[in-house]
């Protein structure tokens, strides 16, 4: 997956230069790639900057993100702070 990481890094560079893009979307890609620390930093940044793409997080969390990542305590803390309704499975 080095090619995918290189593309994501290019996209993130364009985001830094232009402001076009979404930290929340980058975070989702990073989580899928296994770059959890970067993903969590990007989600936190998205939360602090009121990234509207976070509103989809409650919808696609099971579909798009790895279950181990969803269970990560730091990610669970973010979901709690976003005030999403608690799910039946407790996550």
pLDDT computed for residue 75 by the predictor: 94
Residue 44 lies in a domain: yes
Number of domains in the chain: 1
Does residue 87 fall inside a structural domain? Answer: no
Contact 70, 31 (CB under 8 A): no
- Domain assignment present for residue 88? The answer is no
Mean pLDDT of 8-22: 87
pLDDT at 5: 85
Higher pLDDT, 34 or 21: 34
Residue-number span of the structural domain to which 66 is assigned: 2-81
Asked, for residue 89, whether it belongs to a domain, the answer is no
Does the reported pTM lie above 0.85? no
Whether 8 and 32 have beta carbons less than 8 Å apart is answered as no
Is 22 part of any domain? Answer: yes
pLDDT for 33: 93
Residue 86 lies in a domain: no
Query: Could you tell me if residue 76 is inside a domain?
Result: yes
């Amino acid at each position: 997956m080095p090619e995918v990481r290189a593309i994501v890094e290019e996209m993130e560079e364009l985001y830094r230069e232009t402001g076009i893009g979404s930290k929340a979307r980058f975070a989702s890609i990073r989580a899928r790639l296994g770059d959890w620390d970067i993903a969590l930093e990007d989600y936190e940044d998205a939360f602090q900057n009121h990234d509207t793409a976070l509103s989809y997080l409650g919808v696609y969390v099971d579909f798009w993100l790895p279950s181990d990542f969803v269970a990560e305590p730091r990610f669970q803390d973010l979901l709690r702070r976003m005030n999403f309704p608690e799910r039946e499975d407790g996550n």
